[in-house]
Amino acid sequence: MRNHRPGRLLAVTAAVVTTVAVTAACGGGGDPGPGGTTAAGACEPAPPGTKVELTFTSWVPGMQKTVDLWNQNNPDIQVKYTEVVGGNDGTYQAYANQIKAGTTGDLGMIEFDNLPSFRLQNGLADIGGCQPVAEGIDGYPEWTRTQVSFGEEGAVYGVPQDVGPLALYYRKDLYDAAGLKPPATWDEYAQQAAQIQAQGGLIGNFMPDQPAWFTALAWQNGARWFTVGDDGTWKVDMTDPKTLQVAEFWQKLIDAEQVNTIPGIGDVEWQALDAGQEWTLIGAPWTAKLIETNVPSGNGKWAVAPLPQWSAGGTAGGSWGGSTTVVWAGSAHPYEAAKFAMWAFGDPAALALNNENGGQFPAHTGQTDLPALSEPSAYFGGQVIWTEFAKANDQVDPSFAWGPTMTDTYDTLSNGFGQAVNGQAKLADVLGDAQARTIETMKAQAIQVG
């Protein structure tokens, strides 16, 4: 069997180097760090007079300017900032590698939906006991506090940065010309979809590549995909009646070809908006700046209305995106790191910079006092769109929780949605598959799941 010789040689060589490799592995990943067990008392400031240097990673455009402001005013706590690619574009993988190697540094940006995954890797420090956090955490909306505590009393695993409450962007000019009002309920949305189709347009886009968008819509309808029992066992339920109602709603629109089904939040989408194909876009606050910069031809034509509701007069919301800044479990200065994070995402001057440079809609409830967020926007026909989002943010249901292997869940969803929009699957079946696959993946991680 000389065919197999190289393989066997490889195996033999591998065995020889195993010792080296194991040493390398254990040296890096053996010590899990203090994640999750940081006692409240352990978060102490460095002795007076010590100079502390922190590292901070994020992909918010222009965050360097916020950091510069901090560095000017805090000579003893200097922050070295690194701008990286988006989490799912490679940074989450880099984080995971760094956690394994014990080289995470001090502070990093993580979106809400990926927070449990890094908690699972024991990568996050509980900064709930740090004095600046304990004092200031109440300044953030309840739903974000739930998400960063995972329901643990007094725990804080990340400082909420920005939030993504859904609202309805719509082409006011087209709506006015057609004598339509933005839909208050999903029923109306479906009716208008038919009317708009008759006029040669599409009401919106079902984005197959943005499973977090679909998740936010299920969230709005009261879906609870991930819950934890009293014994700590996870339960996954992605095929509950609420989620299926949302799935069937969109399935009908897809089947009737009343919505676009192109990749969202990218050039393909901007082209479609530029061409005036889509009359509405279900989006988050951060979507505003994207539309504004990428679809200049829409200037003055767009407006923002509340997200349609499942029942007339309802006030339910969901969040798409939004992020936190975490203190890594390996940080030697959790106190200073937490102090910086609370400032960068709580202080009015910092929030104003984050909004100006990065288009962030701050999570902090003080955001409503920001001058920039109470100004009318010319692109949106003089509307003060941020008040719409502030209202929407108050309506986000605090009891929704994310799973610990969300990357995989999203992958399964987006693969399935891709097939669904190409007529090869049904949305409801995709959800069933995603649920089965998620349970399988969690079990492979030795997570207790019932």
Partner 1 sequence: MTAPTRTSTRQNPLSVGGATLFMILFAGYFLAPVWWLVVTASKTRAELRASHGLWFSGPFELPGNVADVLGFDGGLFLKWMANSVLYAGVGGAVATLVAAMAGYALAKYVFPGREAVFNVILAGVLVPTTALALPLFLLFSEVDATNTHLAVLLPSCVSPFGVYLARIYAAASVPDELIEAARLDGASEMRTFFAIAVRLMAPALVTVFLFQFVAIWNNFFLPLVMLQDSTLYPITLGLHTWNSQIPHNPDLQLFVIVGALLSIVPLIVAFLFLQRFWRSGLGVGGVK
Partner 2 sequence: MTNREGAPAVAHAVEQHETGAAPPPSRGRGRGPVPVRPRRRVRHGRAVVGFLAPFVVLFAAFYLVPIGYAVVESLYTVTRVGGTFGRATEVFGGFVQYAAVFSNGPFWASIGRVLVFFVISIPLQLGLALVFALLLDSPVLRGARFFRLAFFVPYAVPGVIAAIMWGFLYAPTLSPFTLLTTSFDLLGPDLVIFSIANIVNWIFTGYNMLIIYAALQAIPPELTEAARMDGAGQWRIAWSVKIPMVAPALGLTGVFSIIGTLQLFNEPLVMRSVSSAVGSDYTPNMVVHATANIPNYNLAAAFSVVLALVTCVLSFTFLKIAGRRTLS
Residue pair 223/217 in contact by the 8 Å Cβ criterion: no
Q: Which two tokens stand for residue 383?
A: 């509307």
Angle separating helix axes 267-274 and 285-294, nearest 10 degrees? 70
Q: Which two tokens stand for residue 189?
A: 């949305």
| Using rule CB under 8 A, residue 11 touches partner 2 | yes
Q: Given candidates 211, 359, 403, 404, which one binds partner 1 under the rule CB under 8 A?
A: 359
Residue pair 318/284 in contact by the 8 Å Cβ criterion: no
Q: How many CB atoms lie within 10 A of CB 12?
A: 9
| Using rule CB under 8 A, residue 417 touches partner 2 | yes
Residues of this chain, 270-299, that bind partner 1 according to CB under 8 A: 271, 274, 289-290, 293-294
Which one, 59 or 310, has the nearer CB to partner 1?
59
**d(Cα 199, Cα 278) in Å, to the nearest integer?**
12
Residue pair 407/114 in contact by the 8 Å Cβ criterion: yes
Listed ranges 53-61, 90-98, 309-317, 377-385: which one lies at the site for partner 2 (CB under 8 A): 90-98
Letters for 48-87 (x = contact with partner 2 by CB under 8 A, - = none) are ----------------------------------------
Binding at 119: pick from partner 1, partner 2, none (beta carbon under 5-8 Å per type) = partner 2
Which one, 83 or 152, has the nearer CB to partner 1?
83
Residue pair 108/159 in contact by the 8 Å Cβ criterion: no
DSSP three-state, residue 433 = helix
Listed ranges 6-14, 103-111, 296-304, 383-391: which one lies at the site for partner 2 (CB under 8 A): 6-14
| Using rule CB under 8 A, residue 94 touches partner 2 | no
**d(Cα 401, Cα 343) in Å, to the nearest integer?**
26
**d(Cα 127, Cα 263) in Å, to the nearest integer?**
38
Residue pair 132/362 in contact by the 8 Å Cβ criterion: no
- Name the burial class of residue 43, with classes exposed (0-12), middle (13-18) and buried (19+) by CB atoms within 10 angstroms of its CB: buried
Residue pair 109/323 in contact by the 8 Å Cβ criterion: yes
Q: How far is the CB of 174 from partner 1 (least distance, A)?
A: 21
Q: How far is the CB of 86 from partner 1 (least distance, A)?
A: 6
Bridge partners, 180 (sequence order): none
Binding residues vs partner 2 (CB under 8 A): 2-3, 5-7, 10-11, 13-18, 20-22, 24-25, 29, 32, 36, 92-93, 96, 100, 116-117, 119-122, 150, 208-209, 228, 232, 234, 261-263, 266-268, 271-272, 275, 404-405, 407-408, 411, 414-415, 417-419, 421-422, 424, 441, 444-448
Binding residues vs partner 1 (CB under 8 A): 5-7, 9-10, 13, 21, 24-25, 27-29, 57, 59, 61, 82-86, 89-90, 93-94, 97-98, 100-103, 265-267, 271, 274, 289-290, 293-294, 358-359
